[in-house]
Amino acid sequence: MEFVSDPPISLKIEKMRQRVRWRDPAIVQRGIDQTQLVIDDGVATEPDGCFSFMVLGDSGSGSHRGHNPQRQIAEMMLNHSQDCGFVLHTGDVVYLVGSSEYYYKNFISPYRELLVGGERPHQIAYDQMTFNLPFLPVPGNHDYYDLPLLYGVLAQTVLPLRYLLRSRIDLDVGWRGSSQGKVYAQAFLDYLLAHKGPALAEHLDRHYTAQNGTARCLRYQPGHFTRLPNRYYCFRYKGIDFFALDSNTFNEPAPLSQDAKGAAHRQKLEKQRAEVRQEQHELMQQSMQITPTQPDEAERLDDIRIKLEQLEEVEKDINKQLASGRERVIDTEQLNWLKQSLIESWSTEAVRGRVLFFHHPPYVTEATKWQQAQTLAVRHRLREVLDQVAAAIGEPAQQRPLVDLVLNGHAHCLEYLRTGDTGHADSHIPWIVCGGSGYSLRRQRPEGPELTESDNAEPVRPVAESLLFVGRNGSGSDRRRPYSCLRIDVHAGTPPKFVVQPLVAERYRHQWYEPVFKPFEL
């Protein structure tokens, strides 16, 4: 039995549709677009001008044996909140399995100043949050994860065992987990399923009053009504179109072929899974010999825990490949929406730039992610969409890339990459991974900053390069844990100029430091 379970893609799509009453007759009759929102802050609809926003991701952990990385990041963000228009979150809001029981400890309490009523955070329910500063997340894989009932019972009843086995059984789990993403939906989406009969019509007429082109859409009002219309959505801020995607529904690996080559690959994967499980067992045996109350032993235990997490990711990715059927489940509706929305964006004169943000990074050099089948699936799906957009609009003006910036999480680090000539429409794009905002940090892969790939019989070629990596580094007493978020300043003009300021809180020798990173221009 797996420690956490990931619902099938088809179930994720179906459940999220139900929760927002996707294309309910009352919504269709009013001409409402459930994928758009307008931020009603008095400046968002201005056609041009400078603005700033913040980014964080993979933040949702609790305290780490007496210190809280998430709170350190939150306090840094507060220093910039007065002159930033909004916050983007790249997913994994609450670890380990998106449990409602942990929203207070792992989200509400650390970010309490961003919430209405934050002076009394204990009184804020996870499904009643209202933000003072627009907070715009996308779901991560942990926001969909569930916990098998057996583990849930053990997690709640065997507390001493949980403490001893925290390298294998994370403390931050409830009874069942996210309920297939339901908790995330109740926390952040406009959960229309809760409105019955005439109450639905009244709610729609009160909150879906913004106009975007020919469609009505949700009016996002900081301090009053701060809900998202869907798990994927878009909004425009001072001439920049932002597209938020749910990559959990287009990350399924390609099915294994049914020929001899596919059989050999399956055998290889099964052997690799057996080796991973053996290594997990050996690490668990080592962890049982450690006394976590001693500082040096606690550091060793933390190393084991991180390694176990990485092995769990590898095993889950292998399981996804082995379970993939002949027909891949793909969120065609969302990908078609992205294609059409980008084409429309490029045909709108008032739009001067475009930003995508979603959880799984197509390009990354964190130690566990580049070789994952899910990474490849997301990269190929995004490329297909961008290639279709490029074919539809022709050559962009001034030789610009189709999008000005892509933001991701999932990899627990801060990384800035740039693609070269990939042979596709994702060439020459800046990519930033912002996934080091609170959960366990990861190292860069030993192969280094250059990413290469090969398609079928084509030779290996470079496709991207990492220009900055901020993650776990050092060992023993020199181990450093630099947690991070971003401030991004967008300048006036077309095309826009983006200036990125990394904000880093580093844990080193049981103390917090704030190393200074120079801003860089994309």
**96 contacts 170 by C-beta, under 8 angstroms:** yes
pTM: 0.93
| Cα–Cα distance for residue pair 86/94, rounded to 1 Å | 20
pLDDT at 164: 41
List the one residue out of 381, 378, 377, 334 whose CA is nearest residue 359: 378
pLDDT at 147: 80
Per CATH, is 9-252+329-521 categorized as 3.60.21.10?
A: yes
Percent above pLDDT 70 for the chain: 90
DSSP letter assigned to residue 445: P
DSSP letters for 480-522: EEEEEEEEEEE-SSSS--EEEEEEEEEEETTEEE------EE-
| Cα–Cα distance for residue pair 403/327, rounded to 1 Å | 30
Per-residue pLDDT tens over the stretch 110-130: 999 999 999 999 999 999 999
Place of tokens 């990041």: 73
| Cα–Cα distance for residue pair 115/247, rounded to 1 Å | 27
- Return the C-alpha torsion angle 161, 164, 165, 170, nearest 10: 90
Backbone dihedral angles phi then psi of residue 157, each to the nearest 5 degrees = -110, -20
Using the predicted structure, report yes or no on whether residue 67 has a pLDDT greater than 90.
Answer: no
User: Where do the DSSP E strands lie in 181-329?
Assistant: 210-212, 215-220, 233-237, 240-244
User: Token digits for 328?
Assistant: 């891949």
Query: What is the average per-residue pLDDT within 399-408?
Result: 94
Query: What is the average per-residue pLDDT within 405-433?
Result: 97
Residue 38 falls in which region: left (phi positive, over 0), alpha (psi -120 to 50) or beta: beta
pLDDT at 171: 53
